[in-house]
Structure 1
Amino acid sequence: MTVQDIRAFNRFYTNVIGALDYSRHLYAPYTLTESRVLYELAHSPRTDAADLRTELSLDAGYLSRILNKFEQDGLIERTTSHRDPRRRHVSLTARGRETAVLLAERANESVGSLLATVPSAERPRLSEAMRTVRDLLSDGRPPRREDVVLRRPGPGDLGWIVQRNAALYAAEYGWNADYEGLVARIVADFAEDHDPHLERVWIAELDGRPVGAVMCVRDDAPATARLRLLIVEPEARGLGIGDRLVTAVVDFARGVGYRELVLWTNDVLAAARRIYQRHGFVLVGEKPHRSFGKDLNGQDWRLDLQDRAE
């Protein structure tokens, strides 16, 4: 391979990206960089301005102008950081979240249209080729938080949730097939009958493969949603995926009008419990039980979605 080979590929890929963003439809009324900042805020809602500058390698003045524009448009709120009073905490407003969702939907539609031109049998080869380019040019660097994408489930993803829950909990906690049966029933109920406006599944994807998932479904109590089946693959832990998945559920539940978000877990799942606590969930009850071949201590957690305090 020569320098000219890489430059030729760059020209080709630039043309592809340009075709996706025809007539500035994809990001309008924002630029690509502004949309990238909005994306980062949507997936890292507890972000300081200094974090954004580092994450996106942006000039401080340029980022300040972008944030000023967002504030004027009602997309963000800036407050003093709880971690460091010298820093400014940046978070999306309801309008900002709606805008981020709209831009993401446009991007998904555009890329979906491009992918539709590739025969189904050739898509695994395309995915592997793209992964190979990233691996070779990353110089062996570990995956980064921004490499992870949250998306809706595609064909086979719900089955993956069942399989990986069963395999991981058996390997890490020794749970038996009863747990797989429980997960299978939860997923089957969602697949067969769910309200897409009030219930949703998120898949965390890294390098073209699923590495995490979570569900938000209606609970029996009025105006209450339930968070279910949070999972992150061992090799993808440490990238903040669990936090992003829980954030997605909280933002979605609040955005569609639920007043409370509840979940049931077990005290052996310490990492997950720490995530719930960071998001403001409160332990409201616990009870010992015998399930999945183990003696466990079940816990009920609750989050008041009407309390917006940081």
Structure 2
Amino acid sequence: MIAKGKHLDDDAGMETAAEALCVRAFNRFYTRRIGVLAPTLAGSDFTLPEARVLWELAHHAPLSAAALGKGLQLDAGYLSRLLRGLKSRGLLTSQAHPSDGRQTLLKLSPAGRRAFAPLDRGSQAEAEALLAPLSAPQRQALAGAMTCIQAVLEPEAAPAVELRTQQPGDLGWIIERHGAVYAAEYGLDARFEALVARICADFVDRLKPQREACWIAARGPQRLGSVMLVQPRDDDTGRVRPGVAQLRLLLLEPHARGLGLGKRLVRQCSEFARAAGYRRIVLWTQSALTAARAIYAAEGYRLVHSEPMNSFGQTVVSERWELAL
């Protein structure tokens, strides 16, 4: 057992080391690509650290030197030299701290704001030039990946997640991510992805906006999850089942789990269904989807039927849950 545990630890260590090499390679690429290694930023007279200090004071002033250093993670001595240089150029002013006589608060002087304006415009122009050669999908993918990096490494500073209705491209993403995630985590074959595609096609073909909807959990351009609420139909006649709604295609990206988004998506369905006058919501799931089942139970759904079956290349326990509204 000791040898086995050590083997697993060694594998994890090798994986982490390989991932660290990827991070380092990206850092080298990106610092070169955005010109961080250049002596000044955006064609200005300011170094990158000086420009960051000016940006912070332009957006969050007044700030104490201690707060500024903590936010930028700069050594106190190095920050002190930066601030002296900016003060000597007439770009900063200071005032007494209202509650701590040992500190002063810093802000940009009028000259500092005049100096920061073209620096800010230059940085914006460089970012737009970086994006200009890219197609709209490439720009969205790039922005989404950047947002994801920030959210994973510094979740408290990441943009808020919104629940929005579907936009062009969302249904394709739902199909692709269901196919990839369920194959990786549960071993479902391509027939499951085909089913999701049919559900999405039916949603478009039969959509009644007052009775049905699809929501995407998104952080800026980055999609994190999805859910649909539709009108179920009788398998034999194709007729809508009166008073009944069906929750479908609840999905969260693996890195977005634990943020309460599944609960928000399921609650959105409940609120929409009540407003639309439905009497109950039904859904089908599998016993192996323990996290989703916990969300349904917390929302008030109850398990009404289960049976083992072979589905999408796996032996599963299929379940039907219902929520009375």
Match of 2:155, SS?
A: coil
Match of 1:242 among 262, 274, 287: 262
1:170 lines up with 2:220 in the alignment: no
1:276 lines up with 2:289 in the alignment: no
Question: Rg: which structure is higher?
Answer: 2
Q: Which amino acid aligns with 2:306?
A: E
1:265 lines up with 2:285 in the alignment: yes
Cα deviation code 1:37-67 (max 9, x no counterpart): xxxxxxxxxxxxxxxxxxxxxxxxxxxxxxx
TM-score, with structure 1 as normaliser: 0.57
1:4 lines up with 2:54 in the alignment: yes
Change in 2 beyond 3 A, CA 1:286/1:130: closer
Aligned residues: 198
Change in 2 beyond 3 A, CA 1:286/1:165: same
CA distance, structure 2, for counterparts of residue 134 and residue 184 of structure 1: 26
CA distance, structure 1, for counterparts of residue 183 and residue 149 of structure 2: 31
Query: What is the aligned partner in structure 2 of residue 253 from structure 1?
Result: 273
- Contact residue 144 and residue 239 of structure 1 kept, 8 A: no
- 1:289 deviation in Å? 1.2
Question: Percent identity over the alignment?
Answer: 43
- Contact residue 306 and residue 317 of structure 2 kept, 8 A: yes
Structure scoring higher RCO (CA < 8 A, sep ≥ 6) equals 1
CA RMSD, 1 decimal: 3.2
Change in 2 beyond 3 A, CA 1:216/1:204: same
- Contact residue 226 and residue 249 of structure 2 kept, 8 A: yes
- 1:260 deviation in Å? 0.5
Structure 2 gaps of 5+ residues are 1-47, 62-130, 234-240
Change in 2 beyond 3 A, CA 1:243/1:123: same
CA distance, structure 1, for counterparts of residue 218 and residue 152 of structure 2: 21
1:230 lines up with 2:257 in the alignment: no
- 1:270 deviation in Å? 0.7
Q: Which runs of 4+ in 1 moved over 4 A?
A: 5-11, 118-136, 143-146
1:198 lines up with 2:211 in the alignment: yes
Q: Which amino acid aligns with 2:310?
A: R
1:188 lines up with 2:195 in the alignment: no
CA distance, structure 2, for counterparts of residue 173 and residue 161 of structure 1: 17
Structure 1 gaps of 5+ residues are 12-117, 306-310
Change in 2 beyond 3 A, CA 1:5/1:127: farther
Query: What is the aligned partner in structure 1 of residue 93 from structure 2?
Result: none
Change in 2 beyond 3 A, CA 1:222/1:147: same
TM-score, with structure 2 as normaliser: 0.54
